[in-house]
């Protein structure tokens, strides 16, 4: 069984479009995250949700809006896509905000043309 899943795995779209990436975890974890990994492989946290509530919101453009309908899901919606948004986006989860181990999804490779 897949612990943390993301869809789609690949996303190619044009500048100015709006797109969403979905994430689901079946581990019963309370905390979920979105990370961005750029072309230089630098992994940086974007958002963190605990029990559907936003607890970390790093400096990302407000074109990025996370939504957590329940604690097993954390979706990422991106408006007005730009070339610089091209990256791999990873969803992750952990038991709670204090747990040391995070489980990562397979990633979504977003290419903006």
Partner 1 sequence: GQNIDQPTEMTATEGAIVQINCTYQTSGFNGLFWYQQHAGEAPTFLSYNVLDGLEEKGRFSSFLSRSKGYSYLLLKELQMKDSASYLCAVSLDSGAGSYQLTFGKGTKLSVIP
Report d(CA 43, CA 91) in Å as an integer.
11
| Residue labelled with tokens 């992750």 | 92
User: What does DSSP assign to residue 84?
Assistant: G
Contact status: 98 vs partner 1 (CB under 8 A): yes
**Least distance in angstroms from the C-beta of 106 to partner 1:** 5
**Which of 21-29, 61-69, 77-85, 93-101 is the region at the interface with partner 1 (rule: CB under 8 A)?**
93-101
Q: Which helix (H) or strand (E) holds 64?
A: strand 64-70
**Which of 14-22, 70-78, 79-87, 104-112 is the region at the interface with partner 1 (rule: CB under 8 A)?**
104-112
x/- contact string, 43-82, with partner 1 (CB under 8 A)? xxx--x-x----xx--------------------------
38-58 residues labelled b (16+ CB within 10 A) or e (exposed) = eeeeeeeebbbbbeeeeeeee
Contact status: 28 vs partner 1 (CB under 8 A): no
87 beta partners = 110
Q: Where do contacts with partner 1 occur on this chain (CB under 8 A)?
A: 40-45, 48, 50, 55-56, 90, 97-98, 100-107
């Amino acid at each position: 069984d897949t612990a943390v899943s993301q869809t789609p795995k690949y996303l190619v779209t044009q500048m100015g479009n709006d797109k969403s990436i979905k994430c689901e975890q079946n581990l019963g974890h309370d905390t979920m995250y979105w990370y961005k990994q750029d072309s230089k492989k630098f992994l940086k946290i974007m958002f963190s949700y605990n029990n559907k509530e936003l607890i970390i919101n790093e400096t990302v453009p407000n074109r990025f809006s996370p939504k957590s309908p329940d604690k097993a899901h954390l979706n990422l919606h991106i408006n007005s896509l730009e070339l610089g948004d091209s990256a791999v986006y990873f969803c992750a989860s952990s038991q709670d905000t204090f747990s040391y181990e995070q489980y990562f999804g397979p990633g979504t490779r977003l290419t903006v043309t």
